[in-house]
Amino acid sequence: MATDIKDQEALTPKWDVALEALVTEEFAERGVEMRIADFQRLARQYGIRFDDIIDTLFRMCIEGVWGYRNGDGQELSITWQDYEQLFVNGRTKEKDMAEYDGGWFPLRESVE
């Protein structure tokens, strides 16, 4: 039984794969690192909650599928602590992302 649960957990996506596809496709079309304004635009354009996109983005960074480079061009790791601080109240807002003034980019293809 424990093996079945572990197998199921391994098959369960760690983020929203539809949002992953959306931001990855957008990155491929643009060919440049994405900024918070890009995610805000996608949220408005497709009627998606901004924080759902950010949730997916942070989870992909934590798993090493996407990366983040700050405004000074330094690549920084996104950790679970960063995630928990951002989502401390369950939802994050655009103003909560002010310190993330850099660019987001895929590091490798998802294994999900």
From 83, 38, 32, 92, select the one nearest 62 (Cα to Cα): 83
What pLDDT was estimated at residue 96? 85
- pLDDT tens for the chain, 112 residues: list them: 555 555 555 556 789 999 999 999 999 999 999 999 999 999 999 999 999 999 999 999 999 999 999 999 999 999 999 999 988 877 887 788 989 999 999 997 554 4
What pLDDT was estimated at residue 112? 45
What pLDDT was estimated at residue 30? 94
What pLDDT was estimated at residue 31? 93
Backbone angles phi, psi at 75, to 5 degrees: -75, 130
Tokens of 34: 């994405």
Backbone angles phi, psi at 79, to 5 degrees: -115, 170
What pLDDT was estimated at residue 3? 55
Q: SS3 string of 57-97?
A: HHHHHHCCCEEEECCCCCEECCCHHHHHHHCCCCCCCHHHH
What pLDDT was estimated at residue 90? 77
